[in-house]
Amino acid sequence: MQLPALYLKRGEDTRLRGGHLWVFSNEVDVQRSPLSGFEVGQACAIVDSRDKPIGVGYVNPNSLICARLVNRGLEHALDKSLIVHRLKVALALRERLFGEPYYRLVFGESDGLPGLTVDRFGDVIVAQTTTAGMERMIEAITEAIVKVIKPRQLWWKNDSSARSMEGLPEYADLGVGEPASEPMIVREAGLEFECDPVGGQKTGWFYDQRGNRDCLEHLVKGKRVLDMFSYLGGWGLRAAAYGAGEVVCVDASQPAVDLITRNIERNGLADRVSAVRADAFDYLKALREQRERFDVVILDPPAFVKRKKDLAEGRIAYRRLNELGMQALERDGILITCSCSYHMPRTVLLDGVQQGARHLDRQAQLLWNLQQGPDHPIHPAIVETEYLKGFVLRILPA
């Protein structure tokens, strides 16, 4: 292979040799390999200061993370064949884990394809590229997905805010197949949920919480359940299917509430589940004023801490939210609280819950720690791949 070399400064190969895949711009020996000499998304050989190649990756000279390692050694090019191989390896894990083809098929760095996310909804694929290197390979990725999965449809949901950091435009497009009149469906625990591959959040569904939703089986039978930030009703409808007596699903988005309503009807749960459009903080404050209580309160908000500098403000928001959630609980209630903010440490989230409980003169018992599901595997050398954290807590009077 004839590839331009990206040379690292002395000692800057340690993290890569330890398993990480990112190269930061201040780690590059710009005397030997000026970043300005590379095209955006261009394939390269990443080489240490002693001229020993580490592997093949791609470059974005305009980004803080200026390169990502995709394959160790120089034996394989960044092409369709490599992507096909990585897809097959990822597929083998998911087919071992799940009985039906509904899962996250590719989780970026953890599956050896940094900058690529692929979700599977039966014979429909929704994929997303977040880096210039993967965007440049989008034709090869499409061909590889078609070869390995043979989907009826492949949607490119390239509207993530992360793309702006790579200088990429945002768009959503049908890459393979024909538009269909029937909705896209995800199956989970015997239920069916209608999703929107273009207008929905992320890639349409939050597979990362699937295993966490399983814990509802032991907590909700005959209970009154409040599902905040419900999105498409994943938590709430699962609670109803496990025997909850009443479930209220709340979301600020009218399209989401419309989909929740259709999902309620699709699964025959209209007698026990209702959907409400409201701001979460306003709704919880109204419950407090009305002294309305639930047996189980589920708080699964979007990320409040998207950047490290947002942590101080974000931790206050999480504490306020959890305190309001506890005020909507019966005296002996269950609080399920989550954060998908990578920059929000698990210990800080739990500390905020504890502070809120003490402020309300209540005590908390931690029952379960929650994390992302196994179709979002954590790369041990890349702490950034572990982002979802949560707790199931029993909240009692002091």
Q: In angstroms, what CA-CA distances link 130 with 70, 113, 160?
A: 14, 11, 7
Answer yes or no: 340 catalytic: yes
Residue 73: CB atoms within 10 Å: 10
pLDDT over 90 at 198, yes or no: no
pLDDT over 70 at 213, yes or no: yes
Rounded Cα distance, 361 and 274, in Å: 31
- The average confidence (pLDDT) of the chain is 96
Of 44, 195, 338, 340, the catalytic one is 340
Rounded Cα distance, 95 and 52, in Å: 38
Tens digits of residue pLDDT in 308-352: 898 999 999 999 999 999 999 999 999 999 999 999 999 999 999
238 in Cβ contact with 216 (< 8 Å): yes
Residue 243: CB atoms within 10 Å: 13
Question: DSSP of 302-335, one letter per residue?
Answer: PPS-SSGGGHHHHHHHHHHHHHHHHHTEEEEEEE
Predicted TM-score (pTM) of the model is 0.95
Three-state SS string across 151-216, please?
A: CCEEEEEECCHHHHHHCCCCEEEEEECCCCCCCEEEEECCEEEEECCCCCCCCCCCHHHHHHHHHH
pLDDT over 70 at 35, yes or no: yes
The mean per-residue pLDDT over the stretch 99-111 comes to 98
pLDDT over 80 at 119, yes or no: yes
Which band of pLDDT confidence, cut at 50, 70 and 90, is reported for residue 202?
confident
Query: Which residues 6+ apart lie within 8 Å of 84 measured at CB?
Result: 144, 147, 148
The mean per-residue pLDDT over the stretch 20-24 comes to 98
Amino acid letter, residue 91: L
Tens digits of residue pLDDT in 259-304: 999 999 999 999 999 999 999 999 999 999 999 999 999 999 999 9
